[in-house]
Amino acid sequence: MSAPVTLFPSPFPKSCFQEAKAIQTKYNELYARISQDEEYLSGLVQEVASGDEFIAELWKIHLRVKEEGYVQNLALGLFRSDYMVHQDGDNLQIKQVEFNTIASSFGGLSAQTSLLHQHLARVEYPLLKDPVPRSSVNLPANNSAEGLAAGLAAAFRAYGKSALGNQTCVLFLTQDGERNIFDQRHLEYAVQSSSDPDHPIPVFRLPFSQILTHTTLAPSSPGRQLLYHPPHNPALTFEVAVAYLRAGYGPSDYPSPAAWEARHQLERSAAIKCPTILTQLAGMKKVQQVLATPEAVSSTPSALRRFVAAGDEAGYAALWRTFTNIYPLDTTAAGQAARRLATDAQACLRYVVKPQREGGGNNFYRAAIPKQLGATPEEHWGSYILMELITPPPVVNTILRNGKLEHGGVICELGVYGTCLWDQGTGALLHNEESGYLLRTKGDQSEEGGVAAGFGCMDSCRLV
Ligand code: ADP
Ligand code: MG
Ligand code: MG
């Protein structure tokens, strides 16, 4: 069964599209910096960890590895910054829904969706009863698969030659019963063909649950290299230059202590992690909330200022413009005020409450908020954030899902990919690119938008 897709590219304001693309390298840099600020992340982890065992466990792994010493300073981010268009009178402005730092998906299928709509625009739309003239369809190019692959290839090259004389590889860590395999395969092929055709970069897929079965670590001296032993040929050993996690972002990937040991093995290895635990934690909704909290009401001073280079006023303003109101639900004055909004039967209708989770299906919306909070011990409310709902202008489209057409009002969410390779020790940015886009569209009656989570569908932008 194909992933659900719109029959037509949805109209999307050109200025908003360009703004989202233009700001991506700033976002990459911002999150690379946050990932390097262990002390700052530690403070935020403490704020949510008492009500969030998963975040607490991730932090413990980081601390264990820190104690023995990390052996890899390079870190790779394959990010995706998600937005909706906010309409304020005549003014249209992108507002960030969230920033993903782990397993940002659909870069493979998104490029294909753009190609599909380009094909339909050329061949099919002119034949319709109400033909869409080709000249009116402005479809931007989308290099998301190549862009993300270029990030992985940059990390692969930066890892360098194996000190042990092994052949190096990229390892995709996937989920059991993976549903996004076709998305991942496009990326895998793009990585393989991103280098000299006679020497394709070796790429392997391994379920996260089999890390301990098929990988080992070389001793600390010579350097804890992560060795991959392909199951189909026990005579082969590859050294993992880049460990790319398309799993491990939520509690269901850690059903047993062995799964946490597997994550520990990855984290303490010399492989370049995409992402490291610190980078994964930089993607907490709590981080997004403190960045978006104005100086005057913040319990932690001026978070965005802390991470934007001094003097870069334009960069600061450009990032700030993309934020919407997000509040803590802790016991600070701002948190108490947010608690009053969240528990008020009228006020709550404008908000969404988010835990520190990824992958869709974890938030609660509008009228459901007071009840859900009521069912949560109050001392754990601080592990949630309260976010104003963005309400984009109405769009009509037709979705093809499970072989059936659904026509009606839709809501579009734009994601912009970013790839970033940096040195955790020196802060040097070795690669920093905007890497294509994703448009996901859902029926306007649905709160959630994830495609794999079963709510949204693939789309592409027709710039207007
Ligand atoms: P996840 O990390 O699980 O994807 P998100 O923050 O992206 O969590 O929320 C899931 C979905 O909920 C989004 O794709 C979007 O459709 C909807 N959503 C989240 N925040 C907002 C918001 N502030 N305004 C409108 N819709 C939102
Ligand atoms: Mg999301
Ligand atoms: Mg997310």
Under 8 Å CB-to-CB from 33, ≥6 apart: which residues?
307, 427
Give the per-residue pLDDT at 297: 62
Mean pLDDT of 19-26: 98
100 CA closest ligand 1 atom index: 2
Q: Comparing 22-26, 240-244, 399-403, which segment has the lowest mean pLDDT?
A: 399-403
Q: Whose CA is nearest to atom 8 of ligand 1?
A: 360
ipTM: 1.00
350 is catalytic: no
Q: Which of 440, 456, 460, 462 is catalytic?
A: 440
Provide the pLDDT confidence category of residue 451 given band limits of 50, 70 and 90: confident
Provide the pLDDT confidence category of residue 195 given band limits of 50, 70 and 90: confident
Residue 454 near residue 2, CB atoms below 8 Å: no
Best residue for ligand 1 mutational test, from 98, 322, 416 (most atoms within 8 Å of Cβ)? 98
Mean pLDDT of 343-371: 97
From the annotation, which residues make up the binding site? 80, 98, 100, 102-105, 178-180, 184, 246-249, 285, 354-363, 365, 387-390, 413, 440, 442, 448, 451-452
Give the per-residue pLDDT at 132: 81
Give the per-residue pLDDT at 446: 79
Phi/psi of residue 335, nearest 5 degrees: -65, -40
Phi/psi of residue 454, nearest 5 degrees: 95, 10
Beta strands in 295-344 (DSSP E): 326-328
C-alpha to C-alpha distances, 437 to 72, 154, 200, 310, 347, nearest whole angstrom: 30, 20, 26, 29, 34
Give the per-residue pLDDT at 136: 80
Provide the pLDDT confidence category of residue 300 given band limits of 50, 70 and 90: low
Number of other CB atoms surrounding residue 354 within 10 Å: 23
359 is catalytic: yes
Q: Whose CA is nearest to atom 20 of ligand 1?
A: 97
Q: How far apart are CA 223 and CA 39, in angstroms?
A: 26
Q: Whose CA is nearest to atom 4 of ligand 1?
A: 360
C-alpha to C-alpha distances, 56 to 44, 47, 50, 91, 211, nearest whole angstrom: 11, 10, 8, 42, 22
Starting at the earlier edge strand, list the strands of the sheet with 385-388: 326-328, 385-388, 351-354, 364-365
Number of other CB atoms surrounding residue 362 within 10 Å: 16
C-alpha to C-alpha distances, 231 to 46, 180, 201, 208, 252, nearest whole angstrom: 40, 22, 19, 14, 25
Angle at CA of residue 417, ends 79 and 253, nearest 5°:
40
Q: How far apart are CA 381 and CA 50, in angstroms?
A: 10
Residues with CB under 6 A from ligand 1: 82, 84, 97-98, 352, 354, 357-360, 362-363, 387, 389-390, 413, 447-450
80 is catalytic: yes
366 is catalytic: no
pTM greater than 0.95: yes
Q: What is the dihedral of CA 444, 6, 394, 86, to 10 degrees?
A: 90
Residue 441 near residue 397, CB atoms below 8 Å: yes
Q: Is the pLDDT of residue 301 over 60?
A: no
From the annotation, which residues make up the binding site for ATP? 98, 285, 354-363, 365, 387-390, 413, 442, 448
Residue whose C-alpha is closest to residue 24's, from 167, 158, 171, 143: 143
143 is catalytic: no
Give the per-residue pLDDT at 194: 86
Q: Which of 43, 250, 315, 359 is catalytic?
A: 359
